[in-house]
Amino acid sequence: MSESANTTVRVEGVSKQYDLGGTVTALDDVDLTLSAGSYTAVMGPSGSGKSTLLNLIGGLDTPSSGRVVVNGQDVSAASEAERADIRGTEVGFVFQTFNLMPRLSAVENVALPLVFDGWDRARRRERATSLLSEVGLADRTDHVPAELSGGQRQRVAIARALSTDPALILADEPTGNVDTDTGARILDLFDDLHGAGNTFLLVTHERHVAERAERIVHVEDGHIQSVEDVSGGER
């Protein structure tokens, strides 16, 4: 089956079980499609399966059954090395805990994925500096994470996620470790980046965060319960 050029992600009949002294089903027969340039939020309570879904799409884990295709590549059938390559080129990650290297400057953190992608030093710095300017941190390029506020660290993480020009940006509770005002500014930045054509999948348990997306996928007990469009209608 050929993949549409207008589809960035296709999740087909995906289930995920864990053996935790007994079988625990995190996802059960889930189907989801993300169109190129779309902005989707996955919302649900703790333990609903939303982060598991994000991890499967991002190639951080593999499904027990079903298929996950990202930008035409079958992540679920890929080897660990192939999934690492997909993560490095097709997917940008923004985590709640930032995941920055503490001894590296902001510009070095942003450039890190480009090291593994084979870029030379001058091109890496040029690209990373440009991205930091794009997220409003042109004057913080040489600061290490300890010298930055929580919101600034998250913006560095966002710039890093954009460094390889990925087909998809995955954000797991991106406002969870910042205050309300800073969280709003981060969501404003996501709005701007989405407006520039980036495809976003955001996981959250907060309604006001999810409402920034074009649609909200409601997940509970490992199932997609409903999909809510931007106007608030259920389908």
Residues 86 and 8 in one domain: yes
Identify the pLDDT of residue 181. Answer: 87
Most confident option among 28-32, 91-95, 229-233: 28-32
Residues 70 and 184 in one domain: yes
pLDDT tens figures, 71-125: 999 999 999 999 998 988 889 998 888 899 999 999 999 999 998 888 999 999 9
Give the domain range for residue 110. Answer: 97-165
Return the closest-CA partner of residue 191 out of 221, 220, 169.
169
Q: Give the torsion through C-alpha atoms of 150, 155, 157, 160, to 10 deg.
A: -160
Residues 19 and 48 in one domain: yes
pLDDT tens figures, 183-201: 898 899 899 889 888 899 9
> pLDDT: is 52 or 89 the higher one?
52
Residues 3 and 85 in one domain: yes
Distance between the two ends of the chain, CA-based, in angstroms? 26
Percent of the residues in the chain that have a pLDDT greater than 90, as a whole number: 69
DSSP string for 76-139 = GGS-HHHHHHHHHHTEEEEETT----TTS-HHHHHHHHHHHTT--HHHHHHHHHHHHHHTT-GG
- pLDDT range class, residue 233, cuts 50, 70, 90: very low
Residues 65 and 157 in one domain: no
Q: What does the alpha-carbon distance between residue 8 and residue 96 come to, in Å, rounded to a whole number?
A: 23
Residues 18 and 83 in one domain: yes
Q: What does the alpha-carbon distance between residue 143 and residue 46 come to, in Å, rounded to a whole number?
A: 35
Residues 205 and 153 in one domain: no
Count: domains in the chain:
2
pLDDT tens figures, 132-188: 998 999 999 999 999 999 999 999 999 999 998 888 999 998 888 888 888 898 899
Q: Other C-beta atoms within 10 Å of 98: how many? A: 21
- Global pTM reads 0.85
Q: Quick check: 208 pLDDT over 60?
A: yes
Range 55-71 average pLDDT: 95
- pLDDT range class, residue 5, cuts 50, 70, 90: low
Identify the pLDDT of residue 88. Answer: 86
Identify the pLDDT of residue 109. Answer: 96
Q: Other C-beta atoms within 10 Å of 13: how many? A: 12
Identify the pLDDT of residue 52. Answer: 95
Please indicate, yes or no, if residue 235 is contained in any of the structural domains: no
C-alpha distance from residue 138 to each of 6, 10, 62, 155, 189 (Å): 34, 36, 38, 11, 15
